[in-house]
Amino acid sequence: MDLNTLLIAILTLLSGIGIFLIACQMMSSNLEAASSDRLKKLFGKASSSKMLGVGVGAVSTALIQSSGATTVMTIGFVNAGIISLYQAATLIFGANIGTTVTAQIVALGMFGGNSISTTVIFSAFAGIGAFMAMFAKKQALKTTGGIITGFGMLFVGLSLMSGSMEAFAAQDSVKSFLASIRNPLLLVLIGAILTAIIQSSSVMTSIALAMVVTNLISLDQGIMLTMGSNIGSCVVAILAGITSGINARRTALIHLLFNCFGVALFMLVGALVGIFTDGISYGSIFAKFFPNAPQTQLAMFHTFFNTVTVAVMLPLTRPLVDTVCRLLPEKKSAPAGDEPFHLHYVNENMLSTPAVAAGQVRLEILRMADMAMDNVDRSLDIITTLDFDSLDKFRKTEEELDYMNRALVDYVVRLSGRRGLSAADRIYLSTTYRSVRDLERIGDYAENIVEYATALESMSQKFSEDAQKEIGTLRSTIHALFDQTIKAYTDGDFAALEQANIIEEKTDDLTEMMEESHIRRLSEGVCTPAVGAQYLSLSSDLERIADHLINVAKSIRRTEETDED
């Protein structure tokens, strides 16, 4: 054995794997940035429809070229309670179909013969894309350049891997060793272990393709390695699920059981076919359908395997979910009052899919806005009725608003540093810091109002009926402002922003009127100076609440910057 040749082949293989992995990451992050809006819409459409869930999983995986990213994203949604386990299962089914696109692309690049091969042609895209990414001024062109560069590097890595396989194939000892591995279970295990180490089923499938094309292994051996890679790919989901809640772990187990079932089914059917047909195998069947194209034979089996497994498992989704729930039962939860605060729509797992996480941040801020407004209502109920029954709920909500202020800012800081965000997403995230602070300040002003109520109670005083009516009028106006603010913020609706500005000016007029009315009542002896001080402070705080709401609505103006890109 030529040890020097073998060492060079091993180093070349490692180089090819490294470039291939970087290419996958580059394509994934740039495709995610380019299609972020479509991804958000796709996952927003995930519903109880099984076929729709499969379609969303397949398309999203094809868009970002990473079943691992789609699975981790799904786990994040389940952990946040956005989708059910049933929906998550169908998304994972679809991701398994979508991931076969990579194998088809790689197989396409292996054609060429004596002419210029498609691998060389596609590899040249790396240079073309790099020039675009470096010299383009518009962000959209830079992102496109990143996609093209990743696509080209995919084939550079593939070329290196194929070259190393040719070197291995020249070694009789290597060929003899690989030829001796005929046990299907052992081949599946090898494929699973190597994929778990590399953490990319696409790389493992591509290595198998290169080995089959260079005659280093047979098509049947390549098929077993590819099926094993499906099991090994579950390691990404398992790692994501371990550190998450019970439903996230259940989702990871669904992924593992689904892939193990598919492998077991195909191995059983393959064994039975071989027994009753005198040795016919999957390899001989696909070789007959796609003659003289071993790369296409393996890629087509990969697609066939995942599609058939989904077709068989889809009607069994409910039993699968029920089984997983029995295997991982719900633990006794702590009393509701002891549960720590947490963000509902975002979590650590979603950081791996920044474009979708940015959309979820918006939902978290909208939830924070609702909570802040609920506390404003509670504070006004308390001060106008001096009924403190809702005080505990008020205080708990205020604590949660303080928590959300810290947690959301921290999350956005980490999210903003991730690759894969579009220019629009980055601009949006830059506005969230002030929006979160504005909402937290609204909660603080509501807390001030409760303190005024406590002062009134201690004095055994209350507001006059006229004062309460004026507070009610201003309260209704602020609610109208809140509605327009939410509409503007949710939809980027500039007409709603204009309405919000008009309503905010009206709140200024109302607070001025309240001050004048207070002076009149004071001169008439209807209210005392001590009560009047609380009333003026209240009107001032409500005006500031309106100011913070309009700040949130005005944050959508920053999005206009993306039109210039």
Q: 118-137 pLDDT, tens per residue? A: 667 778 888 998 888 888 87
Does 528 reside within a domain? Answer: yes
Q: What is the pLDDT of residue 88?
A: 85
Between 217 and 172, residue with greater pLDDT: 217
Q: How far apart are CA 324 and CA 270, in angstroms?
A: 27
Pair (28, 58) in one structural domain: yes
Written as six digits, the tokens of 257 are 């059981």
Contact 483/553 with Cβ under 8 angstroms?
no
Mean pLDDT in residue range 448-466? 91
Residue type at 217? I
Answer whether residue 334 is part of any domain. Answer: no
pLDDT band with cut points at 50, 70 and 90 for residue 446: very high
Say which residue, 529 or 38, is predicted with more confidence.
529
Tokens read off for 136: 């383009």
pLDDT for res 529: 84
Average pLDDT over residues 171-199: 82
Higher pLDDT, 339 or 230: 230
**In terms of C-beta distances under 8 Å and separation of at least 24 residues, what long-range contacts does 62-65 make, across chains too?**
62/98, 62/101, 63/31, 63/32, 63/35, 63/38, 63/39, 64/28, 64/31, 64/32, 64/35, 64/39, 64/353, 65/24, 65/27, 65/28, 65/31, 65/101, 65/102, 65/202
The residue that leads in pLDDT, 525 or 156, is 156
CB–CB of 68/92 below 8 Å?
no
For residues 357 and 282, state if they share a domain: no
Res. 304: pLDDT tops 60: yes
Q: 200 with 262, same domain? A: yes
pLDDT at 358 over 90: no
Task: Report how far Cα 550 is from the mean position of its chain's Cα atoms.
Answer: 30
Average pLDDT over the chain, rounded to an integer: 83
CB proximity list for 368: less than 8 A, separation 6 or greater: 401, 404, 408, 436, 439, 440
Q: Which residue has the tokens 């949710």?
A: 490
Range of the structural domain that residue 509 is part of: 348-564
Query: 187-201, 389-403, 528-542: which range is least confident on average?
Result: 187-201
368 and 237 co-located in one domain: no
At which of 327, 360, 388 does a domain end? 327
Q: Note the pLDDT of residue 454.
A: 93
* Stronger pLDDT, 73 or 462, i.e. the higher one: 462
Asked whether residue 82 carries a pLDDT value surpassing 70, the answer given is no
Same domain, 92 and 135: yes
Residues 373 and 506 in one domain: yes
Q: Is 371 within the bounds of a domain? A: yes
pLDDT of residue 81: 65
Asked if residue 55 belongs to a domain, the reply is yes
Element of type H or E holding 558: none
The whole-angstrom separation of Cα 87 and Cα 538 is: 47
pLDDT at 336: 42
> What is the spatial distance between Cα 500 and Cα 477, in angstroms, rounded to a whole number?
10
Residue 52 located in a structural domain: yes
- The sign of the dihedral angle between the CA atoms of 286, 289, 292, 294 is negative
Domain count, the chain: 2
Average pLDDT over residues 372-378: 96
CB of 73 closer than 8 Å to CB of 355: no
| Residue 49 pLDDT class (50, 70, 90 cuts) | low
In the prediction, which pLDDT does 107 show?
Answer: 81
| Whether residues 449 and 405 fall in one domain | yes
Confidence bin at 339 (pLDDT 50/70/90): very low
Question: Can you give the pLDDT at residue 41?
Answer: 61
Q: Could you say which of 327, 359, 391 is where a domain stops?
A: 327
Q: What is the pLDDT of residue 151?
A: 79
Long-range contact pairs involving 112-116 (C-beta distance under 8 Å, separation at least 24)? none
pLDDT at 337 over 90: no
Per-residue pLDDT, 562 = 47
Has residue 17 got a pLDDT over 60? yes
264 & 137 share domain: yes
Integer CA distances (angstroms), 233 to 54, 105, 541, in order: 18, 19, 55
465 CA to centre of own chain = 52
What mean pLDDT do residues 305-317 have? 92
In this structure, the answer to whether residues 151 and 300 fall within a common structural domain is: yes
The last residue of a domain, from among 274, 296, 327? 327
Which range is least confidently modeled, 25-39, 91-105, 288-302? 25-39
Q: Residue 280, SS3?
A: coil
405 has pLDDT over 50: yes
Put simply, whether the predicted model's pTM sits higher than 0.85 gets the answer: no
Same-domain pairing of 297 and 434:
no
Q: What is the CATH number of the domain that holds 390?
A: 1.20.58.220
Instruction: Based on the fold, state whether residues 316 and 178 are members of the same structural domain.
Output: yes
User: Would residue 139 count as lying in a domain?
Assistant: yes
181 located within any domain: yes
Residue 418 DSSP code: S
DSSP per-residue string spanning 161-175: HHHHHHHHHT-HHHH
pLDDT at 509: 93
Say which amino acid occupies 529.
P
554: pLDDT strictly greater than 90: yes
Together in a domain, 125 and 231: yes
In a domain, 177, yes or no: yes
